[in-house]
Amino acid sequence: MSNFAHKQIVVAGGEDAQILKLGATLDAKGADILKETCEAVTAEWVNEHKIDLILLNHVRGDDACLEMLDRLKGAQLDRAVPIFVHMDKPNDDDIHDVLARGATDYITAEEGIDSMMQKITTVIGDGFIGSVAIDITPPEADVTATGVRVFVIEDDPLLRNLLAIRMSKSKFPCEFSSDGDKVIPVMRQFKPDVVILDLMLPGKSGFEVLKEMKDDRDLKNVPVIVFSNRDAQEDKQRAAELGAGKFYVKAMTDLSELVETIESLVK
């Protein structure tokens, strides 16, 4: 049975041909597709309908859908609900804005259905980092290191939860920060062996945090793994120039691989 079977997925905002096709693909895999306006999608509505995933078709300038993201970001939900935002030709500011407002990931009008489904599968489908069947009760990783201290800078609460479970299962003491502001003193106090760093963060960007780490006497030699939605070659090059040891794209990475990389960097 598909892991999408009976998942409650709501399409919020306007519809277009690509969103309709994506909805049809999810429906064919057994998901239950609901449609609502952004104004109607509140925390109470999400809890009442036991929503597993929100697909937001965001049109630039549509304040109602941005307000929906703001409402849900700090809301008391019964479960972690990932939000994917569909955007037409977004620029960096558009992407940063929706991620800072709590979106889990974004999909673009230029992407094919296979690419979009891979990203969604990452969170609730058949087998990548966000699969409940894979990561909520993960097997112990095949590693020999224990006690590796890992500091994670990640603003997505769903991914923080999955990483916390994986780090605990692998016996890695860990601490988390949800933004880039004032994180350097916290890292100094924690004394990490490895840092996992998102690039798109509220406050300071991951690039700014990375530069500050490399300028800091206590942190400059700590290995950094960039773990980001961004996969442009210029981002990878810039991260490497600033001293990142590894660069992984979230949608393409199994958490077991991440754990193995943590071990390899501290040997």
Angle (nearest 5°) at CA 198 between 203 and 111: 110
Residue 224 structure tokens: 């950094």
Please, what CATH class does the domain formed by 138-266 belong to? alpha beta
Tell whether the model's pLDDT for residue 139 goes beyond 80: no
- Residue 142 has a pLDDT of 39
- Which residue type is seen at 146? T
Among 54-58, 65-69, 105-109, 231-235, name the one with the lowest average pLDDT.
Answer: 105-109
Q: Which of the four pLDDT bands, split at 50, 70 and 90, describes residue 61?
A: low
Rounded Cα–Cα distance for residues 261 and 246 (Å): 8
Among 1-5, 204-208, 230-234, 246-250, name the one with the lowest average pLDDT.
Answer: 1-5
As a whole number, the mean pLDDT across the chain is 83
Residue 142 vs residue 108, higher pLDDT: 108
**% of the chain exceeding 70 in pLDDT:** 89
- Tell me the longest C-alpha to C-alpha distance in the chain: 55
Average pLDDT over residues 149-163: 86
- Residue 60 has a pLDDT of 65
Task: Tell me the pLDDT tens digit for each residue of 18-31.
Answer: 888 888 999 999 99
Tell whether the model's pLDDT for residue 51 goes beyond 50: yes
Tell whether the model's pLDDT for residue 1 goes beyond 70: no
Rounded Cα–Cα distance for residues 223 and 197 (Å): 10
Neighbours of 91 (CB within 10 A): 10
- Residue 14 has a pLDDT of 78
Residue 42 structure tokens: 């509140």
**Fold agreement (8-126, 138-266):** yes
Sheet of 150-153, strand order: 174-177, 150-153, 194-197, 224-228, 246-249
Tell whether the model's pLDDT for residue 144 goes beyond 70: no
Question: Is residue 152 a contact partner of residue 250, using CB atoms and an 8 Å limit?
Answer: no
* Residue located via tokens 């693909």: 25
- Which residue(s) pair with 233 in the sheet? none
Question: Is residue 94 a contact partner of residue 65, using CB atoms and an 8 Å limit?
Answer: no
Please, what CATH class does the domain formed by 8-126 belong to? alpha beta
Tell whether the model's pLDDT for residue 127 goes beyond 70: no
- Residue 26 has a pLDDT of 92
Tell whether the model's pLDDT for residue 226 goes beyond 90: yes
Residue 156 vs residue 238, higher pLDDT: 238
User: What residue ranges do the domains of the chain occupy?
Assistant: 8-126, 138-266
The DSSP code for 101 is T
